[in-house]
Amino acid sequence: MVYDLHLKQHPNMQKVYKDLYKSSDTENEKTDTYLTLIIKSIFMSEKEHTAYRV
């Protein structure tokens, strides 16, 4: 689709994409990316899920 291609090339969309994959701690590149933190905040770990059910 032409519209999708246009969005992917838009500077703001490219910045958002880059920001999502940046390390959440600029001084430590081994920390989670922002995207990982978003996913972790939405889905519970198995340990959290088990504790919630008990």
pLDDT at 42: 85
Domain count, the chain: 1
Beta bridge partners of 33: 23
* Structure tokens belonging to residue 10: 């838009």
* Amino acid in position 33: T
Integer Cα distance of 32 and 48 in angstroms: 19
pLDDT at 8 over 80: no
Q: In this predicted model, what pLDDT tens digit does every residue of 25-41 receive, in sequence order?
A: 988 888 999 999 999 88
pLDDT at 34: 92
Range of the domain at 9: 2-53
